[in-house]
C-alpha cells in the first residue's frame, strides 16, 4: 500500500478498514 503507517495509525480502526477495502477494490489482483 502507498499509505504511510503514521497516517493510518492516526485513524480509527473503522476508517482504516474503509481505506483498505477501497484500496483493494481499486486494485484487483
For the chain, the domains span: 1-29
Separation between Cα atoms, residue 10 and residue 15, nearest integer Å: 10
Residue labelled with grid coordinates 484487483: 28
pLDDT digits (tens, 9 = 90+) for 1-29: 566 666 656 778 898 889 889 999 998 77
pLDDT at residue 5 in the model = 62
pLDDT at residue 4 in the model = 62
Q: Which residues contact 1 (CB under 8 A, 6 or more apart)?
A: 20, 23
Residue labelled with grid coordinates 485513524: 11
* pTM as predicted: 0.48
Q: How many residues does the chain have?
A: 29
pLDDT at residue 6 in the model = 62
Amino acid at each position: 500500500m502507498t499509505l504511510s503507517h503514521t497516517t493510518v495509525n492516526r485513524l480509527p480502526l473503522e476508517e482504516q478498514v474503509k481505506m483498505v477495502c477501497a484500496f483493494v477494490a481499486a486494485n484487483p489482483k
